[in-house]
A and B are shown apart, each in its own frame.
Chain A
């Protein structure tokens, strides 16, 4: 009986941790990502992610931000010439610099997790493994 009780306790703790772990992970990633955003992204995409009309695309509930994580991470790694992003017929002309030599896999995962969960966005986190695999593939 005592053993069973202990087992139940252990199970409850394990379950609690298992559930809590990603939540804490997400929160921490968002916090780290916020710092990356402020240092590298904010100037163009603005403090509220609303971008600049005709120049720098908004990061608020667009298909690029909420959709395919690989496509999003590729933009950060490889950059854009400008003009590729079209949101309801509005084009954004400034280039996005390639940040593969500037940001680590961890920083890219964190900042994308932050962006996908800020400014009214809600989407899954981006993992370091996903960024790492994509970086290797794009080499």
Chain B
């Protein structure tokens, strides 16, 4: 009897610890499947499958070579901050959901046998076997630590180049570097001290532990906040989508009408070369004047541009406040040729357009040629918010937040409102 008990205990222990990741409570999966399927709209020939839902704040995601999807959560689910979705029967839906990592965050990416994931202050990595999607959680290394994360633009996005470097955005914990943040009438600090440790993109070694500011390089500065960050392997350069500043109408009604405040500033796409200065907080891109101009807090009057002449110009501009939360250069073969090497951008959806109607909540596509936009942007996936008209941001059903490409060329989209994951594929007619 005693032996049987011992055997049983051993079996339980082996089962519990033998897995690389912890199986999540199956009841949560059942509950998730009950949720209604959203009708996202896609161009003709494209189809979407719901991989899973109910993950909660599902931020960025990445796909291993075997097709396993890894999702970084901003709020722990059953104590786990990284979720692995495994599809056993190849129908696009996750059949096995497991998790590991007890910290919240946004960034996640796989490169050269390692899975990198970020909290708001650190970057970790784990060995991953991409053939079976198994992660060796015991191999956890802290690559970067001690980054600024002060309750605004605190999330860290990740990108890796092909020379052993990892890029981390450090968002400015500020709207436009006023003495008193977000207070009407408070002047802009000049120079802005935030730029020393935030408001830019830092470069670290992908394989060294415990790096911080002293070991890193401020690769680019003058970028308020970036969530969409991707390395373009075709031209071997970094690209980033900036979240533009808020409150132009509210703080400067004498310069911006309510409508102009909703449309400005542009959300900007930058090609980031080393040493780039994109102009924050001194400059903003005016969508009406189609120019980078001085911010009103720095003497701007919608004409002056003396602070901005030497700043890096964006390569594409979008309407104000749409909140670009993910950027992905598509290199797969599943989609038609026009999509190859082009950029997908997930717009989380606005809030600073109120009382004008909110906008965004979609995934757009930008055609590219040789690393530069080669046509206008177009809406690729829409219908996430479920808005009929005039609803507030908090009422959006789903909000696109992350993008990833599968080994089969499928596009994955995450939603951080309910934690829905879609897989988008193309079927030739």
Contact = CB atoms under 8 A, between A and B. Distances in A.
Contact of A97 (B150, B151, B183, B394): B183
A94 B182 contact: yes
Interface stretch (A49-57, A105-113, A127-135): A49-57
B355 interface: yes
A98 B250 contact: no
Contacts of A97: 180-184, 186
A47 B355 contact: yes
B152 interface: yes
Given A43-B247, A90-B75, A95-B152, A50 B395 contact: yes
A81 B355 CA distance: 25
A52 B394 contact: yes
A53 B417 contact: yes
A44 B355 CA distance: 10
Nearest to B350: A52
Contacts of B122: none
A116 B27 CA distance: 38
B355 A42 contact: yes
B180 A81 contact: no
Interface of A: prevailing SS: loop
A46 B183 contact: no
A47 B392 contact: yes
A74 interface: no
Interface of B: prevailing SS: loop
Interface in B378-418: 392-395, 399, 417
A55 B394 CA distance: 10
Nearest to A51: B394
Contact of B354 (A47, A54, A81, A94): A47
A64 to B, nearest CB: 16
A14 to B, nearest CB: 43
B394 A50 contact: yes
A96 B180 CA distance: 10
Given A43-B247, A53-B394, A83 B183 contact: no
Question: Quick one: which of A44, A56, A95 has the most chain B CB within 10 A?
Answer: A95
B74 interface: yes
A55 B351 contact: yes
Contacts of A46: 351, 354, 392-394
Contact of B182 (A48, A50, A90, A95): A95
A31 B354 CA distance: 20
A42 B262 CA distance: 14
B152 A94 contact: yes
A58 B392 CA distance: 11
B417 A43 contact: no
B154 interface: yes
Contacts of A51: 394
B75 to A, nearest CB: 7
Contacts of B354: 42-43, 46-47
Question: Quick one: which of A42, A47, A97 has the most chain B CB within 10 A?
Answer: A97
A48 B152 contact: no
Contacts of A53: 393-394, 399, 417
Nearest to B390: A47
Interface string B65-92: 0000000001100000000000000000
Contacts of A58: 394
A102 B184 contact: yes
Contacts of B185: 102
Question: Quick one: which of A42, A44, A98, A102 has the most chain B CB within 10 A?
Answer: A44
A83 to B, nearest CB: 4
Nearest to B249: A43
Nearest to B251: A43
A53 B392 CA distance: 11
B48 interface: no
Contact of B151 (A44, A47, A81): A81
B352 interface: yes
A38 B417 CA distance: 27
Interface in A70-105: 81-83, 89-90, 93-99, 102
A102 B394 contact: no
Contacts of A38: 355
B392 A50 contact: yes
Nearest to B399: A53
Interface of B: 57, 74-75, 150-152, 154, 180-186, 246-247, 250, 351-352, 354-355, 392-395, 399, 417
Given A43-B247, A82-B150, A94-B182, 13 more contacts: A42-B354, A43-B352, A44-B351, A50-B392, A50-B393, A50-B395, A93-B151, A94-B152, A96-B182, A97-B180, A97-B181, A97-B183, A102-B185
Report the 4 A-B pairs with minimum CB-CB distance, sorted nearest first: A82-B151, A97-B183, A50-B394, A83-B151
